[in-house]
Structure 1
Amino acid sequence: MFTPSSRTTLFLLSALLVMALCLRLYRVGTYGIYFDEKSTLLISQGVCLEGFNQQDVFSKPYFTPAEFWKPKTFNDFIEANIRGDIGNSPAYYGVLWLWMEVFGLSDTSLRMPSVIFSTLIVWLLFVFVRRHFRSGGPLAGDRDPANSLALVSAAIATIEPFFVAYSHIARNYSMTFFLTLLGTHIFLLIMERVRSTAPTDRKTPSLPLLYLAYGLVFVTSVLSHYLSTTVFLCHGVYALLYLRNTRSWVTLGLTSVIGLGLVSLWFIYGGGKYTFYILEEQKNFYHNLALTNPRNNGFGIILPATLPNITVRAIPVFSDLFIVTNGLSQTLGGIRNAVLALGLGALSTVLIHRYFSVAMPPVWVYGAVPVLLLSGLPFYTLEPIRLLVLSIAIPFVYLIGRYVIDQTNTQQKRFVSLLFLLAFVPTLFLLLMAWRSGHTYGITQRYSGFSFPYVCILVAMGLSQLTRLRWWFSLPIAAVLLIQTAHIVRILGDIYADTSPKYTLFGEPRISNPYWSAAQQLTKLYAPGDTILYPNKKRIIVSEKNDKSFSPVSLYDAQLVNIYLPQDAQYIQRVDPNERDRIVLVKGHSDKKITIFDFQGSTYRYGD
């Protein structure tokens, strides 16, 4: 029987899920797949980049789609995973292969698992917060304040640009973020069960089932992305701090050992056996670029891993974690402006703290916060509106702290300590690895994106506490947050327009998938006796282990077009030494050539 309050909560959650799905579906198939997504597509079909497992196809003068699509073995998938993604993410590729077997090959189909997992994050975040922050424990009623906190957390995840952007990318990220959040949820359910004073809840599975589920999620997460281990490392630190049950320690230890044993099978017998070799090779490669050609190397700016360089790269990663400070890292470049903005924010925080509980403060207090925040505008020489937003960063951190102090019990404060671990440890791990590797290439948001769900909860705490402030404090902060909301809306617009390099990886919009459109034209125009010619470009060998195969020329264009051609087709095709950038259809035995697509160098090859 639903109570009125529970029906309202269900309605609001449903509305958020619909909104989240719509935001993630909008324009999901508009732009062609970029380089990493092309690797994803080939790997999911057991096709090695540059045809290492198709030598019998491409070594002949001519080949057909039917020959290209000959049945693949499990070893083909392993080899494709090794050469396309250093042996990472086999679980994701398995899910994607199954999905595309059912729903077919298209850009939208390729990205739909990311859309679904990204939407499920919103739902799971609501469940997570409502369960673990109930003031009355798992048996609390529907009117518990945790419902509001859960809805706000889910709302933030709904519009979080990072989640929206990566739902449009056919890579493992959305799936791994969902799995690691699920793993944390199960871990806390285990902690709840083993507490001697924990209330019983018939809806919670038994401990053996929870341990089994935790182990399975651990294995699947690690086999979706190796860096997900940083999340489970945080679980271990939390257990070290707060778990005092010997039996539970033994059981968790056994679960971890068995899980690691299962994962190790991939490293011993599967594609993972080459991972560490390739990582070492990549480390040396990028370190050499950082020392010899840090800026014009084709891979972006890669700097030596000095403390200043790491700090500069880390600031935007930390800043963009929090939706209220998203995009503010650039304002920190002007130190005088930033110090002034943060200083005014600190003074505002002192004022809020001093009169936090005073119902009738001195008259001057009513307008003090807006005056302080606005007083910097005449003196800011760089992006004054963005610096105004920066000025509320310290007050907002204070609000998060006040929520934790005032609105959480002892057990929930422990949960908050886990949230902070999960919010910062993944990025700190990246910084440590950058320091050890000697270059800054890996310091990027997507490799520490596991933190975003937990940061959404922390931001929700600050927003919830904002509603408890006196109106003369809350209104000016809320007004500045509205300015930041406009910034978030603009970012979403840039993501949909494919012009946000931070999220879309490229600064200029991509065209629709040229390989798919070429395949459609060829299917329509091809007649018996015709020949399809593919470009013959010299291959660039980046990794001797990963890239080197029998072919001295790139087979990339031919592979990607054949992915979209009918699998039983007998079209005559070859890689033409006289073509460099065009896919050409030669009609019959004549000299008539139809240009199907001109890549114009690398303009349309890699999605940039």
Structure 2
Amino acid sequence: MNLEKQTPIDKQNPPIWLKVLVIFLVGLGIFFRFSHLGQKAIWYDEAFTSLAISGHTVAEVQQEVLNEGIIPVAALDKYQHLNPDRGVNDTVRYLITSDPQHPPLYYTVVRLWAQVFGDSAAGVRSLSAVISLLIFPSVYWLCLELFESTVVGWVAIALMAVSPMQIFLAQDARQYGLWMVTILVCSAALLRTLRRETFLNWAIYALALTVGLYTHLFTALVAMAHGIYVASQQRFRFNKTLANYLLATTVGLFIFLAWIFVFITHISTAKQLTSHLSLYKLDNPFDLIAILLAQITRIFFDINFSSYTPLVNKSFWEIEHIYYSVIAGIFSLILILYILYFIVKERLNRFSLFLILLGAIPSICLLLPDMILGGTRSTIFRYQLPLYVSLQIAVAYVLGVYIFSQKHWQQKIWQCLMVGFLLAGLVSDVIFFKADTWWLQIGNQYPLATAKYINKFENTLLLSSNQISNIGSLLILNHLLNSKINLLIVQDDHLPLFPKEASNIFLFDSDMTNSQNLLTRFKKDKTYSLRLIDEPLTELWQVEKKS
């Protein structure tokens, strides 16, 4: 029997209690999005956001710090703040030469935003917080297009309001919050256009797709899911609708052509920056699926367990909280299987296929290369946003149907489940509110521990190489270290002469992928002795000259 005859969710008006609850949760969600914006330490990716808006390129930083010899750590400040002599065009130049896999839309906007609201951590992150508010109308619109149900739209807003994933994206100075909005808007625009084909609607879809592409390259995977859906609805026959879709997509790609050219021209730089994602192979490729399942739970419940930590000379993933990860994976598997069972059992309409394709196609395109060729791209949490948004909307639909079930006992059970989802999100948000760093801020615990240790000493010299991974780590340390600490940046093949006044010399080298890194050269040299600092989460060696 068709679900719509049993439970006409599209005709159900949201009751007052649901509207009051959702408005209350949205208020809490806004509070968590804007509170303590500057509390968490700048992490690796955010340090490069600040470098982008400063207008300096990575090559400039590498060369300048190499040529200047011993410098105070405060000398790195100019690479983390606005430079009045450099503008938006210099931010775009940074992206072209140093980070071509990131399209320029978010970074040009955040550069202009920082001119008005400041370039502090809170000032830069506030743009993401404002963008995150667009999630609410965007997900509501998509739910209306999918299910013609205001109830599902209200439930989806409630889930989005307290989702720990959404709170993190709202306080992260990167483009992923904006990408989430473009996924929702682009999808809703396509469904509206298929329902009512007009030139204006196709133009809106083409524009939304273009904005998505200029936000993140993986929007191309979303467009692929859209294309498969449109073709399936036309029974894979070429007709006017399919022709209009291809034309609109072509227009979007044509407008994006300029950055495609930039990316292809500088693809070697992009490969260098993302080489670590293909460096490791798991012993069992199906471990990737286990990791993905464990991470899915975090869109609803996340208490900051750092489940997977990349280690050197050990297995790539060390499970610190094994029980949490196993339970989370089982929960995610049950959730996905139940949603699929629900779709098959109730014979839902064609829009269920849209959600499945939107979540599955981008995820599979990331997962299969990792399973076949090796790599960990599919485990990067922020790359899986299309899958996560699809699951959140699917959960909102199931909850929206059953909390108004005609069976009283069923209604009460699902209302309790909805309360459980919302409470899980709120507990996660409170933990996020109190935290100094979050597990998604990859590797941030190491600079925090390193800075805490180094700041204890006087007459300190911190030594490192000018490899890009070290430059990123030093830009983080710039925000954490005592201003009296000095830096000496050298090339990997050059062992420096140390000043006599430096009584405490430490080597920091996070470039473990290079067999000829600075640490290796020091170990081979008989002039110096190295002592690994036996402190949790530090990446430091103390350097002493042998007598």
- Compute the TM-score of the two structures, normalised by the length of structure 1: 0.62
- Choose which of 225, 249, 253 in structure 1 pairs with 2:246: 253
Q: Which residue of 2 aligns with 1:307?
A: 285
Cα distance change, pair 88–418 in 1 and its aligned pair in 2 (3 A)? same
Cα distance change, pair 499–399 in 1 and its aligned pair in 2 (3 A)? farther
- Counterpart CA distance in 1 for 2:324 and 2:54 is 50
Q: Which residue of 1 aligns with 2:528?
A: none
Q: Residue 497 of structure 1: CA displacement? A: 2.9
Counterpart secondary structure, 2:134: helix
Q: Which residue of 1 aligns with 2:121?
A: 107
Residues 430-487 of structure 1: CA deviation (Å, up to 9, x unaligned) = 1023235422254222101133333222101211232216344454565566555544
Q: Which residue of 2 aligns with 1:120?
A: 134
Are the counterparts in 2 of residues 287 and 304 from structure 1 also a CA contact under 8 Å? Answer: no
- Choose which of 179, 184, 194 in structure 2 pairs with 1:181: 184
Q: Which residue identity is paired with 2:90?
A: D
Q: Which residue of 2 aligns with 1:28?
A: 37
Q: Is 1:161–2:164 an aligned residue pair?
A: yes
Q: Which residue of 2 aligns with 1:129?
A: 143
Cα distance change, pair 554–188 in 1 and its aligned pair in 2 (3 A)? closer
Q: Which residue identity is paired with 1:463?
A: L
Q: Which residue of 2 aligns with 1:360?
A: none
- Counterpart CA distance in 1 for 2:386 and 2:186 is 11
Q: Which residue identity is paired with 2:207?
A: L
Q: Which residue of 2 aligns with 1:537?
A: 463
Aligned residue pairs, count? 454
Q: Report the more deviating stretch, 533-542 or 33-42.
A: 533-542
Residues 31-54 of structure 1: CA deviation (Å, up to 9, x unaligned) = 121111010111122122363497
Q: Is 1:44–2:53 an aligned residue pair?
A: yes
Are the counterparts in 2 of residues 182 and 217 from structure 1 also a CA contact under 8 Å? Answer: yes
Q: Is 1:221–2:220 an aligned residue pair?
A: no
Q: Is 1:490–2:427 an aligned residue pair?
A: yes
Q: Which residue identity is paired with 2:225?
A: C
Q: Which residue of 2 aligns with 1:200?
A: none
- Compute the TM-score of the two structures, normalised by the length of structure 2: 0.68
Counterpart secondary structure, 2:218: helix
Q: Residue 184 of structure 1: CA displacement? A: 0.8
Q: Residue 159 of structure 1: CA displacement? A: 1.1
Q: Residue 56 of structure 1: CA displacement? A: 11
Q: Residue 229 of structure 1: CA displacement? A: 1.4
Q: Which residue identity is paired with 1:20?
A: G
- Counterpart CA distance in 2 for 1:458 and 1:25 is 27
State, as a whole percentage, how many aligned pairs show the same letter: 17
Q: Residue 327 of structure 1: CA displacement? A: 11
Are the counterparts in 2 of residues 17 and 119 from structure 1 also a CA contact under 8 Å? Answer: no
- Counterpart CA distance in 1 for 2:65 and 2:112 is 26
Alignment of 1:2-401 (within 5 A): 15-49=24-58, 51-52=60-61, 55=64, 59=68, 69=83, 71-72=85-86, 76-82=90-96, 84-134=98-148, 146-194=149-197, 207-243=198-234, 246-268=239-261, 270=262, 272-281=263-272, 286-288=277-279, 290=280, 303-304=281-282, 306-320=284-298, 323=300, 393=335, 396-397=338-339, 400-401=342-343
Cα distance change, pair 19–123 in 1 and its aligned pair in 2 (3 A)? farther
Cα distance change, pair 129–181 in 1 and its aligned pair in 2 (3 A)? same
Q: Residue 260 of structure 1: CA displacement? A: 1.7
- Counterpart CA distance in 2 for 1:556 and 1:510 is 8
- Counterpart CA distance in 2 for 1:181 and 1:10 is 22
Are the counterparts in 1 of residues 55 and 90 from structure 2 also a CA contact under 8 Å? Answer: yes
- Counterpart CA distance in 2 for 1:502 and 1:65 is 26
Residues 407-443 of structure 1: CA deviation (Å, up to 9, x unaligned) = x6xxxx1222101111222221210232354222542
C-alpha RMSD of matched pairs (Å): 4.7
Are the counterparts in 2 of residues 231 and 426 from structure 1 also a CA contact under 8 Å? Answer: yes
Q: Which runs of 5+ in 2 are unaligned?
A: 1-12, 308-322, 490-497, 508-534, 541-547
- Counterpart CA distance in 2 for 1:231 and 1:65 is 38
Q: Which residue identity is paired with 2:244?
A: T
Q: Which residue identity is paired with 2:99?
A: D
Q: Which residue of 2 aligns with 1:422?
A: 358
Q: Which runs of 5+ in 1 are unaligned?
A: 135-145, 195-206, 291-302, 331-380, 519-532, 548-552, 566-572, 583-599
Cα distance change, pair 541–222 in 1 and its aligned pair in 2 (3 A)? same
- Counterpart CA distance in 2 for 1:216 and 1:474 is 42
- Counterpart CA distance in 2 for 1:157 and 1:554 is 32
Q: Residue 6 of structure 1: CA displacement? A: 9.2
Q: Which residue of 2 aligns with 1:197?
A: none
Residues 262-308 of structure 1: CA deviation (Å, up to 9, x unaligned) = 2221232x4x24553244446665544x2xxxxxxxxxxxx337433
Cα distance change, pair 253–504 in 1 and its aligned pair in 2 (3 A)? same
Are the counterparts in 1 of residues 100 and 266 from structure 2 also a CA contact under 8 Å? Answer: yes
Q: Residue 250 of structure 1: CA displacement? A: 2.6
- Counterpart CA distance in 1 for 2:538 and 2:111 is 29
- Counterpart CA distance in 1 for 2:342 and 2:215 is 32
Are the counterparts in 1 of residues 25 and 162 from structure 2 also a CA contact under 8 Å? Answer: no
Q: Which residue identity is paired with 1:72?
A: R
- Choose which of 347, 360, 369 in structure 2 pairs with 1:433: 369
Q: Residue 208 of structure 1: CA displacement? A: 2.5
Residues 346-398 of structure 1: CA deviation (Å, up to 9, x unaligned) = xxxxxxxxxxxxxxxxxxxxxxxxxxxxxxxxxxx999998997897489537
- Counterpart CA distance in 1 for 2:62 and 2:113 is 23
Q: Which residue of 2 aligns with 1:454?
A: 390
Counterpart secondary structure, 1:538: strand
- Counterpart CA distance in 2 for 1:23 and 1:422 is 28
Q: Which residue identity is paired with 2:393?
A: I
